[in-house]
């Protein structure tokens, strides 16, 4: 956690721990209508595995960028969060 904060500080972004900064990765989001349908805005993985089967392979997700997102209701034109800074990872040659 401290390494992440130091990295952003070196790039000119100060993290003020007002909101208990918690780095995390969002793999998918549910549409609001589905959240209402399931009475939750969170995916119940146990229920999902029950429906799809325990042996279901969801594949591989490559981490190629990280965005520092604002905590606000405002969004970019494409619907993504306002992101004052981001890191792009480029694959190393094999």
- Is position 94 within any domain? no
Global model pTM greater than 0.85: no
- Is position 51 within any domain? yes
Domain that holds residue 78: 2-88
Q: How many domains does the chain have?
A: 1
> What is the Cα–Cα distance from 71 to 81, expressed in whole angstroms?
8
Q: Where are the alpha helices (DSSP H) in 11-93?
A: 32-37, 45-52
Sign of the CA dihedral running 73, 79, 84, 87: positive
- Is position 14 within any domain? yes
- Is position 17 within any domain? yes
Residue 46 scores a pLDDT above 70: yes
- Is position 57 within any domain? yes
Q: In the chain, pLDDT over 70 holds for what percent of residues?
A: 70
**Most confident stretch, 4-8, 46-50, 81-85:** 81-85
| pLDDT given at position 35 | 65
Residue 69 scores a pLDDT above 80: yes
Sign of the CA dihedral running 38, 40, 42, 47: negative
b/e map 18-48, b = 16+ CB within 10 Å: eeeeeeeeeeeeeeeeeeeeeeeeeeeeeee
């Amino acid at each position: 956690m401290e390494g992440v904060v130091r990295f952003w500080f070196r790039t000119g972004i100060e993290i003020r721990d007002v909101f208990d900064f918690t780095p995390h990765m969002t793999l998918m989001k549910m549409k609001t209508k589905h959240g209402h349908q399931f009475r939750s805005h969170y995916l119940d993985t146990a229920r999902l595995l029950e429906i799809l089967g325990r042996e279901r392979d969801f594949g591989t997700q490559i981490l190629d960028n990280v965005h520092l997102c604002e905590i606000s209701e405002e969004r970019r034109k494409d619907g993504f969060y306002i992101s004052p800074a981001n890191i792009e990872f480029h694959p190393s040659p094999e």
